[in-house]
Amino acid sequence: MNKNIIILGVQWGDEGKGKVIDLLSKNVNYVVRYQGGNNAGHTIIINEKKIILHLIPSGIMHKNVKTIIGNGVVISPNNLLSEIKELENLNIKIKNRLFLSTMCPLVLEYHIAMDLAQENFLKKKLIGTTGKGIGPSYTDKISRYALRIDDLFNKDIFAKKLKQIVDYYNFQLIYFYKSNSVNYKKILEHTLDISENITKISIDVSDFLYKARKNNKKIIFEGAQGTFLDIDHGTYPYVTCSNTIAGGALTGTGIGPLHVDYVLGVVKSYSTRVGSGPFPTEIFDKYNLHITNKGKEFGSTTGRKRRVGWLDIIFLKKAIIINSLTSLCLTKLDVLDGLDTVKLCVSYITSSGKKIFNLPIKQEDWNHIKPVYEIHPGWKENTCGITNILNLPQAAFNYIKRIEELTNINISIISTGPDRNNVIILDHFL
């Protein structure tokens, strides 16, 4: 039986990871978030009630599960405490069920100010940031002057470090970005006022997880966003600032590579992305309208309309390699209900007429490729809520099997609707 399982998105985020993690969490002891910040949003629907989690791992919805935020995550104290309060208002117990790494970098007011100033400065060259301060926080981390949770244990040291950083940020905000400065005193007082709420739940995550595994505990490592938003392996520069791939679970929590037993990749039955960047299978026709409306394709964090396209097998095969996927979870199958045809991108054709089966190596090459599709019959029947694969329309069944054939990997879970129980389980790997 698998003990340590990584669950991550294998597109550009918004694949439905929150639902899948929530579904599988009932069988584990811990759910651990390993990267990103409150720029991500995991949506869970229980009894038709929508709950969106931005920082706290999805496993919090199960009372027997403890949740952990690893060092790869950047923490906005304000957003974390707000999320805790929101869950407690829903009678979800948080005490003794949520822990943070002492090494998590903090996201503070000056990060948000810088994020917005940079986005305004770039204007037409927008990356598509959520404006939550995540990028500047990771920049501080890489530059080695980030404030972390462990700095909050000594208020004098924290105050001194904060003053240096705020002065540095204000100089840039005022003189380069022609933007407003931030107030050092207000940030200091507010952060110190709430610091105990943060420090009292902080732990050595690596040591904690090592002991948990020794005691045969089951752990899910929860990815945020998606594989092709990875800072290294994504569609650079249209990426996030963290490692969203499976390898990020190791660096973002401190577990060793031999302690990963299973990697589940979550993929939509079609493709979406938010913000700028390459998207070969993007569509603008009647199918876009159908998928957008039926799939409710609007960002859970920003509310922005997502770009929509067909499932890209070239990207998916690359994600399988990068993440060493064990199996796939196919989500939102029901969104394709009612379409006369469905398409799978199986290769690209260049402007010179050459057919290629891999992602472009050079950034400029994205502008010179077009998708080559397999066109499959759609289905008019309703698949929402189906829990047995034998009850699927034949065309839907064939679509699923063709994805397996093209990728040479098994699909272990199929999501057929928004509720946690709208699933077809094909492999009980947990």
User: Could you give the residue numbers annotated as active site?
Assistant: 14, 42
Mapping DSSP to helix (H, G, I), strand (E, B) and coil, where does residue 209 land?
A: helix
Look up tokens 């929509």; give the residue: 308
Closest CA to 297 of 268, 325, 277: 268
* CA-based nearest residue to 295, from 313, 274, 269, 275: 269
The burial class, CB within 10 Å (0-12 / 13-18 / 19+), for 45 is middle
Contacts of residue 413, defined as CB under 8 A and 6 or more positions apart, other chains included, come to 20, 23, 264, 327, 329, 330, 423, 424, 425, 426, 427
Rounded to 5 degrees, what are φ and ψ at 76? -90, 110
Task: Please state, in angstroms and rounded to a whole number, the distance separating the CA atoms of residues 80 and 154.
Answer: 21
Strands 66-69 and 49-53 come out as: unpaired
Asked if 42 and 18 count as a contact pair (C-beta separation under 8 A), the reply is yes
